[in-house]
Structure 1
Amino acid sequence: MAYPVNAIVNTLLDMAKDKHISDMTPMKIQKLIYLAQVWYIKITKEELIDESFYRWTYGPVLPSLYHNLKGYGSYPVTNKLIRMDLQGNIIEDYISDLPKDQKIHALLNEILNVYGNKTASQLSNLTHQEGTAWTEGGGDNESIITRKDMENEKLYK
């Protein structure tokens, strides 16, 4: 079962806080979520996130997450993500959408253990290496990174 990205991000933010990782900028979150999606696909043959990543200048990006976080600029994300209507009313609070799935928590924990100490720029550079889905698909061309691309992704421990 694929989850809304905000549910995964909120869980990741909670876990990063517990690990004293304070530099959870929008770009770093994008890259960590991408890596979580790749690892999850490779481990379970299922998708973790119910959205598609695109090839943007600084690597894989979920456009909805980009728009949700762009107000932070290059500063750390300090609040959990919610969905609001056009009048500013909360439609959904994603905190409760992610069940206490130990497999997902273990995966996110491992993602933070392996990549949490890297900066957003280091993670972006990582996604630009030869053989990654971003480069194999032509780099910064705004195309979708398909599930097949992720299955062939080399960024997996």
Structure 2
Amino acid sequence: MTVDTLSAAKHLCEKSHWSLSNLKLQKVLYIAHMMHLGQFGMPLINGYFEAWDYGPVEPKLYHHVKAFGREPVGPVFGLVADVSDPVASDVLDRTFDRLSNMTPGQLVGVTHWERGAWARYYNPRVRGVLIPNDAIRSEYRERITHAE
């Protein structure tokens, strides 16, 4: 089951005790989305990612929390529903737990992987380039193969 982008972001922010910056939130959400696509064959969120300078970004989420700049995202998801799907919740929790100790810069490095979806679609002269879910799923497969 696909969940609302802002619901997934709210879940991650709550799990972090509101310590995630916009940049770190974007990267953790992207990696969770990739894990869900790779493991279950369907998207985690109902949004989409674009190839921006600092890696994959979900534009709706970015604009919702951009006022926080580099500071931790505060509780701005008041009327946003909680994630009710236990599989989605588990993927978000496991991803957060694996990545919570990484800095935003380290996460940018992970998402800038030369064989990943972001690298295939990033063009510094063009804004709004969509990273297709098929490419994100392929990145998951490539990372699994590369890790073996």
- Please give the range of the TM-score, normalised by the shorter of the 2 chains: 0.7 to 0.9
Structure 2 residues not aligned, in runs of 5+: none
Find 1:147's aligned residue among 111, 118, 133.
133
Range 101-110 or range 54-63, more displaced: 101-110
> 1 CA distance for matches of 2:44 and 2:100?
19
* 1:49 maps to which of 40, 45, 54: 45
More moved, 138-147 vs 52-61? 138-147
Q: Is the 8 A contact 1:127 1:155 kept in 2?
A: no
Residue equivalent to 2:25: 29
User: What is the distance in 1 between the residues matched to 2:14 and 2:52?
Assistant: 27
Aligned residues: 141
Q: Which residue number corresponds to residue 16 of structure 1? A: 16
Corresponding residue number in structure 1 for 2:105: 121
CA distance in 2, matches of 1:24, 1:76: 5
* Higher Rg: 1
Instruction: Give secondary structure in 2 for the equivalent of 1:94.
Output: coil
CA contact (8 A) 1:13 1:80 kept: no
Instruction: State the Cα distance separating 1:137 from its structure 2 match.
Output: 2.1
Unaligned runs of 5+ in 1: 83-92
Q: Is the CA contact 1:11–1:95 (under 8 Å) kept in the aligned structure 2?
A: no
* Residue of structure 1 equivalent to 2:35: 39
SS for the counterpart of 2:16 is helix
Answering whether residue 68 of structure 2 is matched by residue 72 of structure 1, we say yes
Q: Would the alpha carbon gap of residues 26 and 65 (structure 1) be closer, same or farther in structure 2, given more than 3 Å must change?
A: same
Which residue does 1:130 correspond to in 2?
A: 114
- Larger deviation: 146-155 or 110-119? 146-155
In structure 1, give the amino acid aligned to 2:104.
Answer: A
2:89 paired residue number: 105
Separation in 1 of the partners of 2:3 and 2:19?
24
Tell me how far 1:147 sits from its aligned partner. 1.0
Distance 1:121 1:23, change over 3 A: farther
Determine which structure has the larger helix proportion and give its number: 2
Q: Tell me if the contact between 2:52 and 2:122 (Cα under 8 Å) persists in the aligned partners.
A: no
Query: Could you tell me how far 1:155 is from its partner in structure 2?
Result: 5.1
Alpha carbons of 1:7 and 1:135: their partners in 2 closer, same or farther (altered >3 Å)? same
What is the root-mean-square deviation of aligned Cα atoms in Å? 1.8
Percentage identity across aligned positions? 26
Structure having the larger proportion of residues in strand? 1
Kindly state the Cα deviation for residue 26 of structure 1 after the two structures are TM-superposed. 0.3
